[in-house]
Amino acid sequence: MRLLAGRPSWTTRDLTPGVRVVLGAVGLVVLLATWQAVVAYGLVPPGVLPAPTEIWPAWINEVSGGFWSQAVLDSLTHYSLGLLIGSALGVGAGLLCGSMPVVDALTGGAVRLLRPIPGLAWAPFAILWFGLNTAGATFIIAISVFWINFYAAYGAVRAIDRDLYEVAAAFGHGGFVGRMLYVVLPASAPGVMAGLRTGLGQGWMSVVAAELFGAPGVGARMLQASSLLATDVVVVYMVTMALLYALTDVAFGFLSKRALRWQG
């Protein structure tokens, strides 16, 4: 809806998708060009920042050496497992706490106590309990993803229009299972989906953190490279992760839009 009288100025005008894509590309080119110029004109000391043109050869090098595919495979394993476990538990716990006041009250204190502890702070325990391996990294990622999904699901359930429960009861779905299946799950889906999507991004951040402690993967490879001042390799993996995230985010966005097409 446009409330302004007259023509909107170019700053407030709605953009067509095509224009948006072109502008996005322009912004990216400007960033890369500035970056290249900064390095090329020696505005930063040599070795501190690799130029964009150095990234591609470094990438080829990593791929041909087999490091890239191994690191990506390891990280994807940590990421998928951690995301799956953390999301499932987070959504499940959030839905349960949101729809059962008794559970909510019982867990309220524990939640407040545990919530502020970042996933990374659990690293010593992850190493002690699981070791420097897939299980340890998965644990750290799962914890970070858990809370996002817990609060998203919890909030989504609490925001459900209470009248819908009465409709469910009036049409024979008044029991706990009926309420969950016919009201809570579908009604909270948009909020749960938003939480899952945030978790997709948070998961990649945690991958790096979890692997910095030595579990093999993209994060570990970045740590090795940075200790050798191979900044170009560090950037290769930064870009790799950004692309992987973009891929998962676009795929999820597509699925979520389909699942929530009732929202229009």
- Interface residues toward another protein, by CB under 8 A: 163-164, 166-167, 169-173, 178, 182-183, 186-187, 189, 260, 262-264
How many CB atoms sit inside 10 A of residue 214's CB?
17
Rounded to an integer, what is the distance from CA 176 to the centroid of its chain? 32
* Shortest CB 183 distance to another protein, Å: 8
* Shortest CB 184 distance to another protein, Å: 12
Buried b vs exposed e over 28-57: b needs ≥16 C-beta within 10 Å? eeeeeeeeeeebeeeeeeeeebbebebbee
Please answer whether residues 83 and 203 qualify as being in contact, where contact means their C-beta atoms are separated by less than 8 angstroms: yes
C-alpha–C-alpha distance, residues 224 and 218, integer Å? 10
The DSSP string of 136-148 is HHHHHHHHHHHHH
* Shortest CB 162 distance to another protein, Å: 11
C-alpha–C-alpha distance, residues 101 and 130, integer Å? 34
* Shortest CB 170 distance to another protein, Å: 4
Judged by beta carbon, residue 28 or residue 167, the one nearer another protein is 167
Judged by beta carbon, residue 52 or residue 190, the one nearer another protein is 190
Judged by beta carbon, residue 16 or residue 263, the one nearer another protein is 263
Judged by beta carbon, residue 81 or residue 189, the one nearer another protein is 189
The Cα-based distances of 145 to 44, 121, 151, 245 in angstroms read 37, 14, 10, 15
Amino acid at 193: M
Please answer whether residues 98 and 156 qualify as being in contact, where contact means their C-beta atoms are separated by less than 8 angstroms: yes
* Shortest CB 211 distance to another protein, Å: 39
* Shortest CB 237 distance to another protein, Å: 41
Judged by beta carbon, residue 124 or residue 172, the one nearer another protein is 172
Judged by beta carbon, residue 10 or residue 262, the one nearer another protein is 262
